[in-house]
Structure 1
């Protein structure tokens, strides 16, 4: 990539050589300086165009990503939330129950009783 030769301060502080004959500046010196400035403006213009292209690409990518996320959110909202299954630690001495499709109140009471026995001991179950 081409390098910029002059800063704004360089341009502002530039002093041209005076012509030996008469009043004024050396036309070759002024023309050379202006040619360099024109070249710098070309570099700036090219860089601005590159950055504008990059901004456009990034905006397009951002928009696509936002649309994808929005679509995933809609799919997630449409799916029912299924709670994670509860894993119980049942002592080896506890009776094995076969799971039914829908637990009844009696099944739930038995499970709670088994858990109480496992946590508090068998003397609690006798009370």
Structure 2
């Protein structure tokens, strides 16, 4: 990875030699001020992303807490990867158990 050559302080402290037909010093200073702001923004963003990256690495390294299931639920090998489909299927079975008699009486 490439290293950073200048800090925002280095950019701020930089003095250019003047010549008779040189650049407008005020215009150069304004441009460098904008560069410093951008540089500080990028540095803050990099630091924030590094912290988030470390946090995600730490959370991925921790083992997931085991989920307890009641009897009649999914087998243990499937317990760790419960999908939305599995949840909907179980919900459907529970609704049939709870509301089955009402559904049968109404003929739905």
The TM-score normalised by the length of structure 2 is 0.41
Instruction: Considering Cα pairs closer than 8 Å and 6+ residues apart, tell me whether 1 or 2 has the greater RCO.
Output: 2
The TM-score normalised by the length of structure 1 is 0.36
